[in-house]
A and B are shown apart, each in its own frame.
Chain A
Amino acid sequence: MNAPTLPTGREAFEPKRPTSKDVAWCPGCGNFGIRNILISALAELGLKPSQVAIISGIGQAAKMPHYINANGYHTLHGRAIPIATGVKAANPKLTVIAEGGDGDMYAEGGNHLLHAIRRNPDITVLIHDNQIYGLTKGQASPTTMVGMKTPTQPWGVFEEPFNPVALAVALNASFVARTFMGYFKESVEIIKKAIQHKGLAIVDILHPCVSFNKVNTYAWYREHTYWMDDHDPYDREAAFKRAIETDPLPLGIFYINKKPTFEENVSAYRRDKRPLWQREPKLDLVERFFESKKL
């Protein structure tokens, strides 16, 4: 029997499985826009669903693998990055994307983000930054603005918001960008560049949560952001200056730093390019080890 031919292009990434069309996002939510952007980026890069693995944490954003046709692993709150690192390390031929919300990546997963920057696996980290916890119904997140009142911060948030872009530049990350999902074309371009970038690419994607964040709306993001037109992403100092601007928030690629990836640094692929699943135990070396233990 001949296998049915699978679709290509944007159509290939559209959800196909029985329940994958039953989307749990609220109507009007920015997550829909991010999905469209991601599908376009993957299709325009000429990728096939079987070549892409989307590893997500937990949260509304992290439900992405179910609404896109690609390999996917919906994992644990905050753990998408180490899991994605393992996936890429086991099979560098895959295009690996780690995806989650601001709570997922910056709170529960904060430590992993720091160390992923140091480790530099060739994965793309997409953070759906709605400045609020969506799935758990509106608690403050690490990026919530000072003064915002929530059911669990009725006195108004007083913690200084987390600045992921400044943090990433400070740690000399490999690729750092910020976009607002309301700008479709620009966002597709940034995500394409992030995926094509060799090394860890961090993209903070601003998106409104229409259910729980009444401050940072579509209109707010348009009014409080601007595109960096005259910025050299290879200039780290300039990148840092831009990164600490808070209002309006700069959008675009802040910083690019080409350096060896985790997969390039490990010895596993120096001679043998096959993914790990195709390999067999080296029993001759085990034998040789025992031989050496006779002395």
Chain B
Amino acid sequence: MAEFKEDVSIVLGGAAGQGVQTVEGILTHALKESGYHVYANKEYMSRVRGGINTTEIRVSSRRVRAFVKRIDILVPFKQGVLTWVRDRLSENTVILGERENVEDEFLEKVNLVEVPLTKMATKVGSQLYLNTIAAGVIVGLFHGDFKAVEEYLRRRFGAKGENVVQKNLEAAKKGYELGVKLCEEGTIAVEVQKDESVKDEVLLTGTEVAGIGALAGGMNFLSFYPMSPSTGVSTFAAQHAEEFEIIVEQVEDEISAINMALGAWYAGARAMVSTSGGGFALMSEALSLAGMAENPVVIHLAQRPGPATGLPTRTMQGDLNLVLYAGHGDFPRIILAPGSLEEAFYLTAEAFNLADRYQVPVIILTDQYFVDTYYNLPAPDVGKVKFERHIVEAKPGYRRYELTEDGISPRAVPGYGEDVVVANGNEHDEWGDITEEAEMTRRMQEKRAIKKLKTVRRNAPLPKLVGEENAKYLVVAWGSTLHVIEEALDKLGRDDVALLHFSWVYPLNPKTKKFFEGKIVIAVENNITGQFADLLKKELGVEVHHRVLKHDGRPFSVEEVLDALKGVVE
């Protein structure tokens, strides 16, 4: 008998187009509604049909938010899945499914629980119901709330007519009964406590929080050119455009996307572009324009491995240097990288205030792992979102680039006030007209690259410390690796190891240095060189002693981080 307690990791694998997403949808919703903590993440190939895509779903009695390598229950929808996840299988893994989807070489080694999914589906009426049956089996194993499955199926298939709903319900029910039976027979035992408060929580993805965060920040214009894995945010915005009365436009290329956003900001809109590294590369010209013209802009960049087209559907934290150095000449920018979904919501909203206040590009770095992650969480507190407008009236004599002590010139927008607003990507005087004067050039360079940057830097928030202040070891991370490292540290269980997580990545407040004093510093990054570790050295003079790096296009798992840390701290 196979027994699973407290925290079960279920992986479903099949070809693109085989409906793994449907099962993922049913399971996460129904299990969350049943009172279980859930987490899900997928990995998929860059193709529309075929190949192998998998989804990991963790079901737990405690909050879970991180990817684990371990597979407790594997549901393969085709041959090849076991080979694809070979290094994640153990003797405890249960394969739930059909014999023909398991390659011969595994038969001896794995724990196969045969369920005749295809036969059951054909009985219901068609092969198409295979996914729904599989989902039903798993919910059954947990003795989940079948009403939740029903609700979800109604919402998902309602538009296709009552017949489709009924058929799916029948399929889910058959599966559910089988799942319950497997437990009763003692084939599989699952013991995960429910937490009633989960039912009141929300289930969100990284894509959704970035999108809704932008809307909460007052985003009213989004221009984009599709590129994985950023497209989801643009799709989200497009689907909410009517309701929120905003403009969402798919344009001819990334160059146009960001320039349009710059124009919109110049006229006072709160505009965003959503892209990936390859698209951002095309935007660097306009980034310089934003720097010189002090034109605010918000850029969401969902990272994937590069260079060039790299791995379109996989993950990496490899674009930090790109956003740090993109554009020519010196000008300030702000780089944010949320670690949790809550943080992504508040930070994305705040990005618009920051762009408005400092008149700089604000770049939000996520990655494929982050945008495709979802889990349950208490609904973010919308009341905590502040809306700040930093627009002044263009009174007679208005100077767009007035020299000020803190490097920030009051920004007016055309049409508000009697006077005119002249912005310029050439070096300019205070009025915005072209200048080639040495003294004015010097002062304007200083205003942007020194004074303004100083102001931003001084106001930059500090990173989050998880653990003891006087821990001997300090693990440093940024962006999407937060939860994986948190869980690994939890498992490590040593109070001499703490985590310092940066979601405000650049520029760094000089006070940040104090966290590093006397520590053995370990950077954990999902890229090949340790781009953030290098930044720490450059910005703060901080020495990173160990780098734990991963660069195969996959996210870190809890186990990997745990093993790596053990290797360093013991």
What is the interface of chain A, defined by CB distance below 8 A to chain B? 3-4, 6, 17-20, 24, 48-51, 53, 55, 58, 63, 65-66, 69-76, 79, 82-91, 93-94, 111-112, 114-115, 119, 262, 266-268, 270-272, 275-283, 285-287, 289-291, 293-295
Q: Smallest distance from the beta carbon of B175 to chain A beta carbons, Å?
A: 21
Chain A residues, Cβ within 8 Å of B145: none
What is the interface of chain B, defined by CB distance below 8 A to chain A? 29, 33, 151, 155, 199-204, 208, 212, 215-221, 223, 240-247, 249, 251-253, 255-257, 259-271, 285-286, 289, 293, 349, 379-380, 382, 385, 387, 391, 394-396, 413-426, 429, 431-435
CA distance A281 to B352 in the complex (A): 11
Which residue of A3, A18, A277 contacts B395 across the interface (Cβ within 8 Å)? Answer: A3
Q: Is the CB of B151 within 8 A of A90?
A: no
Q: Is the CB of A276 within 8 A of B424?
A: no
Chain A residues, Cβ within 8 Å of B221: 86, 89-90, 276
Q: Is the CB of A85 within 8 A of B247?
A: no
Q: Closest residue to A112 on the B side, CB-wise?
A: B256
Chain A residues, Cβ within 8 Å of B249: 89, 119, 262, 266
CA distance A48 to B545 in the complex (A): 63
Q: Is the CB of B256 within 8 A of A82?
A: yes
Which residue of B155, B385, B395 contacts A283 across the interface (Cβ within 8 Å)? Answer: B385
Q: Is the CB of A76 within 8 A of B266?
A: no
What are 11 A-B residue pairs whose CB atoms fall within 8 Å in the complex? A4-B396, A19-B433, A49-B420, A71-B415, A73-B266, A74-B426, A82-B263, A266-B249, A275-B268, A293-B208, A295-B151
CA distance A274 to B246 in the complex (A): 12
Q: Smallest distance from the beta carbon of A112 to chain B beta carbons, Å?
A: 6
Q: Smallest distance from the beta carbon of B332 to chain A beta carbons, Å?
A: 19
14 further A-B contacts with Cβ under 8 Å, apart from A286-B385, A290-B379, are: A17-B431, A50-B419, A72-B420, A74-B422, A74-B425, A75-B425, A79-B286, A89-B249, A111-B253, A267-B242, A276-B269, A277-B269, A290-B202, A293-B202
Chain A residues, Cβ within 8 Å of B394: 50
Q: Is the CB of B382 within 8 A of A280?
A: no
Given known pairs A73-B422, A83-B262, A276-B269, the reply for A53 and B247 (CB within 8 Å) is no
CA distance A272 to B219 in the complex (A): 16
CA distance A119 to B269 in the complex (A): 19
Chain B residues, Cβ within 8 Å of A275: 267-268, 415
Chain B residues, Cβ within 8 Å of A271: 245
B202, B217, B391, B395: which has the most chain A beta carbons within 10 Å? B202
CA distance A248 to B253 in the complex (A): 37
Chain B residues, Cβ within 8 Å of A66: 422, 433-434
CA distance A71 to B426 in the complex (A): 16
Q: Closest residue to B430 on the A side, CB-wise?
A: A18
CA distance A295 to B217 in the complex (A): 25
Chain B residues, Cβ within 8 Å of A48: 418
A65, A286, A287: which has the most chain B beta carbons within 10 Å? A286
Chain A residues, Cβ within 8 Å of B202: 290, 293-294
CA distance A176 to B420 in the complex (A): 29
B251, B261, B395, B414: which has the most chain A beta carbons within 10 Å? B414
Q: Is the CB of A71 within 8 A of B420?
A: yes
Chain B residues, Cβ within 8 Å of A268: 220, 241, 245-247
Chain A residues, Cβ within 8 Å of B379: 290-291, 293-294
Q: Is the CB of A86 within 8 A of B223?
A: yes
Q: Smallest distance from the beta carbon of B189 to chain A beta carbons, Å?
A: 30
Q: Is the CB of A281 within 8 A of B217?
A: yes
Given known pairs A75-B425, A87-B267, the reply for A82 and B415 (CB within 8 Å) is no
Q: Which 8 A-B pairs have the closest CB atoms?
A: A277-B268, A86-B263, A83-B263, A90-B269, A90-B267, A71-B414, A276-B269, A86-B264
Q: Closest residue to B399 on the A side, CB-wise?
A: A17
Given known pairs A74-B434, A83-B262, the reply for A65 and B422 (CB within 8 Å) is yes
Q: Closest residue to B241 on the A side, CB-wise?
A: A267
Q: Is the CB of B414 within 8 A of A20?
A: no
Q: Is the CB of A290 within 8 A of B414?
A: no
CA distance A51 to B431 in the complex (A): 18
CA distance A109 to B123 in the complex (A): 60
